[in-house]
Chains A and B, each alone.
Chain A
Amino acid sequence: MTQPDNFGFGEEAALLKESARKFFAEHFPTEKLHRMVASDPNPERMTACAWDRDLWQQMVDLGWTSLAVPESVGGLGMPLVAVAALVEELGRAAFPCPLLPTLNATYVLAASGTSAESALEEIAAGITASLAITDQQGSWFPADTDVQCVNGKLVGTAWFVQDARKVDRLLVSARTSTGQALFWVATDAAGVFIEPDAIVDLTRDQAHIRFDGVQAQEVSSEAAAALVQAMPALWTILAADIVGAAEWQLQTTVDYVNTRQQFDHPLGFFQAVKHPLVDVMLQIDQCKSLVYNAACAFDAEPERAAEYAHMAKASASDTAAFASGRSVQYHGGIGFTWECFVHLYFKRQKHSQLLWGDAAWHRAQLADLLIGPIN
């Protein structure tokens, strides 16, 4: 299969991106984010779970949570390029919500076959979910999990579960007597204990979740296969989030260095500031182009989806680190304070940088594909 020249980015996708951008610009300025999530600077604070449920409900009503759900089970069945475009705008706004985890669960369920259809129907109806598939070591390999299914009940702990306190369901990867399966569990089911992590990022919440003999619905008996098929979509949309956030960092920093005067010139006059900001732009553009290529591959050239998604997330992780560093540095002293907004994005980007694999991890996987594994 070959990709269309325009990434399959049609009018519908362009409209979705445009309306998402307007939606966040109108309803969620950065001041609002800061007021909502940065009320307590205490470094030993417990991570709060502050988010705007009313605005979230509007997003659900707009159908954004069912974009990736196939039409056959009541969703909108939009291509990944359109979803990535929406997520880019979400990243630009750094809006705290369970959209990414729900999309992630959607792609895994969609790769799971017919027994996952009822779960997808729930998502189409506005139910949110998150993946509980990671072990305590933070391994990003689908085969690794610390949860088991014993006599039909889940036992063990899933780690690094994203936005755990904002979602209705968990999609759990667990070892079984015959292999590895995926289970669909309500977050308020008996025996589910959500233990929040204290994290750096103020725009997300994260938890490890203990399963103490939990009755659960099996949605796939081939967990690893479903995860492997869906992973390129997960990497791609997280990379899209990073691109949007990095655009905010670049624009905010450019605005600042155009305003702030030192030595009788705006800071941006000096090439020590100007050239690295251009490099941030180059890095963002490389990443954005790779994101749309990876998304289009997932839609139209699945045999290369993993290869291109590794490129996108590797590039995105580097972009996140570089754009974050420069944004704080070029804001100078004020950029080092809690009152300046750049720390919100700095922290979100550091979280996104390592989530689902950092740059070195993705390049190692890419090398295995392009060169062959190390003997």
Chain B
Amino acid sequence: MSESARQDTPEQAEFRQQCRQWLQQNKPAEPTVRLPLSPLEIMTDEQLSYLQAWQKSAYDAGMVGCDYPVAVGGGGRTDCQRIANDEMIRARTPFFPNVIGLGMAAPTVFYHGQDALKEQLLPRLFSGEDIWCQGFSEPGAGSDLASVQTFAERKGDKWVINGHKVWTSLAHFAEWMILLLRTDRSHKYDGLSYFVVPIRAALGNGVTVRPLIKITGETGFNEVIFENLEVDDRYRLDELGKGWQVAMTTLLHERGAGELQTPRAGGMKSKATHATSSTNLIELARSVQRNGRPAAQDPLIRDRIMQMVIREQGLAQNQRRARVSALQDHPLRLQLQNKLLASEISQDTAAIAVEVEGASASLYLGDTNAPAGGQWPMAYMNSYGMTIAAGTSEVQRNILGERVLGLAKSK
């Protein structure tokens, strides 16, 4: 029995058993299509429909939205989502495609939406039938999120929206968008409001979605342009001018520090999924020759791999220590480090892998001689998405310096 299972409440223990049995019989077979590294790189309809079918079946089995009330399509359970997550990851299932919906839109709609809206939106969000995307960043508003300029002007019970959003993952598949915009130009923070917008219904009629191509050559994120899009006032979350506070709920959950646990699945092996872990780094170093012997025999390479082993273990132990209150001096100190550390560790691991590969690191996905199918150079390039998105590493260091160490706020 795992340590976490030992501490289950009776409800959790029974639920865990239920999940485990269902997964044994119903875990989907591996797909015939190449699965992307993460939901944010879904490129084709085939990939999406495979993943959507999986999310729907997991939802129908009660493993998605477990801790939300039954009235909004949830399972009405207490602290059971993490049990379902444990079991799905243990069973090495595919991941869920609707990550923005599950991780960010659902808690935001739940805490700030009207009841009718929650009942309308959340069941199809949990089932994955409606894919969601997030309209926060703009060409002129990156790290300084509160400077968004997309504007909604009131027209009776409707709002007319004009503006330009960027880095919008999944927008090309999305029915709905969570949208941070401005309703008042005279106040930076208090002039912001927050909407949910049915973008798919308005494609070609006020909404344009154009793919942005990443440095890897993959698509997956987009720019979204609003031209006189009319939206009902009932799609507004919380009060007018409270957009920044609502956005904080979104970001808190995005960083894994929110009240509601995000439904999470994954772990299925596929030809194209190559986790950037130091274990893989050791395997790679054993298989690649360097100066006439395996790279794993080179003292400098060994030292660098051990540095990654130690950082990876340090992060895992941080997460363990974060649950022992007697070993912490500040409640947010470890929580706020997670995203920064995980993204920088992945990046440095991939950088070392590419170095270990030597000349072969020049070979990319389309080359049959590329080691590990060319995944390491791709993982290395993709890692910059992680150190930039959801608050760059520089913004994370500002947050830690100011909120945890108490240093003077940077402008």
Contact = CB atoms under 8 A, between A and B. Distances in A.
A371 B314 contact: no
Given A277-B407, A281-B405, A371-B282, A364 B299 contact: yes
A288 interface: yes
Interface string A229-246: 000000000000000000
Given A7-B321, A290-B313, A311-B313, A281 B406 contact: no
Contacts of B307: 363
Q: Is the interface of A mostly helix, strand, loop or mixed?
A: helix
B32 interface: no
Interface string B396-411: 0110111011111110
B394 interface: yes
In this complex, the interface size class of chain B, counting residues with CB under 8 Å from chain A, is 35 or more
B299 A274 contact: no
A375 B294 CA distance: 10
B80 interface: no
A5 B410 contact: no
B79 to A, nearest CB: 16
Contacts of A371: 282, 285-286, 296, 302, 305
A258 B341 contact: no
Contacts of B285: 371
Contacts of A266: 407-408
B407 A257 contact: yes
A306 B296 CA distance: 21
B317 A289 contact: yes
A47 to B, nearest CB: 33
Interface string A355-375: 000001001101100111011
A9 interface: yes
A54 B297 CA distance: 53
B313 A293 contact: yes
B4 interface: yes
Interface in B367-411: 394, 397-398, 400-402, 404-410
Nearest to A368: B302
Contact of A271 (B303, B314, B320, B394): B394
Contacts of A288: 321, 327
Interface in A265-284: 265-266, 268-271, 273-275, 277-279, 281-282
B162 interface: no
A258 B406 contact: yes
A269 B410 contact: yes
Interface string A32-74: 0000000000000000000000000000000000000000000
Contacts of A7: 320-321, 324, 327
B341 A282 contact: yes
Contacts of A265: 408
Interface in B313-332: 313-315, 317-318, 320-321, 323-324, 326-327
A14 interface: yes
B203 interface: no
B322 to A, nearest CB: 9
Nearest to A266: B408
A183 interface: no
Nearest to A284: B333
Interface string A3-36: 0111101000110010000000000000000000
Contact of A286 (B305, B314, B333, B407): B314
B340 to A, nearest CB: 8
B398 to A, nearest CB: 7
B14 interface: no
A363 B303 contact: yes
A268 B401 contact: yes
B310 A315 contact: yes
Nearest to B304: A363
B290 to A, nearest CB: 13
B307 to A, nearest CB: 7
Interface in A296-334: 308, 311, 314-315
B252 interface: no
A363 B310 contact: yes
Interface string B324-353: 101100000110010011000000000000
A370 B324 contact: no
A292 interface: yes
B294 to A, nearest CB: 9
A360 B303 contact: yes
A372 B296 CA distance: 9
A285 interface: yes
A269 to B, nearest CB: 4
24 contacts: A7-B324, A9-B327, A271-B397, A273-B407, A274-B398, A274-B405, A274-B407, A275-B394, A277-B407, A281-B404, A285-B314, A286-B317, A287-B314, A290-B313, A290-B314, A292-B317, A293-B313, A293-B317, A311-B313, A360-B303, A363-B303, A363-B310, A364-B302, A370-B306
Closest 8 CB pairs of A and B: A286-B314, A289-B317, A268-B407, A269-B408, A363-B306, A14-B326, A367-B302, A274-B401
